[in-house]
Structure 1
Amino acid sequence: MTARSETNQKQQNGFANTRAATGNYYQILGVAPTASPMEIRRMYRQLSKQYHPDTTDLPTATAKEKFQQLNEAYATLSNPQRRLAYDRQLYAQRLASIYAAMAEKEPPVERGDSAYIDPIDRPLSGGELFSLFLLGTTILACLLLAIVVGLTQQETTTESLESLALVLGPGFCL
């Protein structure tokens, strides 16, 4: 293993440990995950001036730790390939936490105080009963009207055929 790969491995392990303790790099820099490289750079410069051990009023140990976190966050988010890998890792962590929350969720408790088996199965309200009554009455009235029209049309059709036969003459057959 080369010295460079060992250094990269140590940096990645250090980044993971820092991230677990302090939150994600976007929160450390105070930018949104959709922030542009210029916005990330601007916030890094602003915060590095604020937390640099030589220019801050914070205790040296605290300032040094915050400044290291800023440097790690900026090193990851300023590099497009590392940022993409980091975003994928955050996405995977979010999915894992969602699935874990879904697995921990208890199934709904069946309520035993209802006489109805299904929560959808319930008595109809007065308005719903009235609507069903009107619907049934309308269907029945339409059916009766169709029967009456059919019977009167049949009588009319028979009478018109007889008169047509008289007009056309006895040799014409229908």
Structure 2
Amino acid sequence: MLAARYYTVLGLHPSASAFEIRRAYRKLSKRYHPDTTELPLSVATPKFQQLNEAYATLGNRERRAVYDERIRHSQAGFPRPSELDRPEDSSSPIRDSAYLDPTERPLSSGEVFVLFLMGLTLIGCLLLAISIAYLRGDPL
């Protein structure tokens, strides 16, 4: 694949942030994934491989910097990748990755319910083991 096409494959401008790259990749990968698409496999598989290759390069800060240097976007006046992810205000942290940190969001109600069920299961198993031991006459 030609290196100059990575931004085009994802449908992004070279000044896109890491979050925008991740969002575009997820949207397009859902459309072209061979297991979930209605397109013929002969069309979907190469397109999905191109998406993976583009995201592997643009989703990694170091690879993206090398890529941008290679296609000379930095000489065309575009900001460098290290400047792309910098927030407007200095109070929010800069992420090294396009992936969201799972600790930055509260648990959903479904996740809390599952944790509750797991706790009840653990307590139930402990009570069952103690009652079986008691009925068999084993010492506690």
Normalised by the size of structure 1, how large is the TM-score?
0.40
More helix by share: 1
Greater Rg over alpha carbons, structure: 1
Normalised by the size of structure 2, how large is the TM-score?
0.50
Which protein has greater RCO, CA pairs closer than 8 Å, 6+ apart? Answer: 2
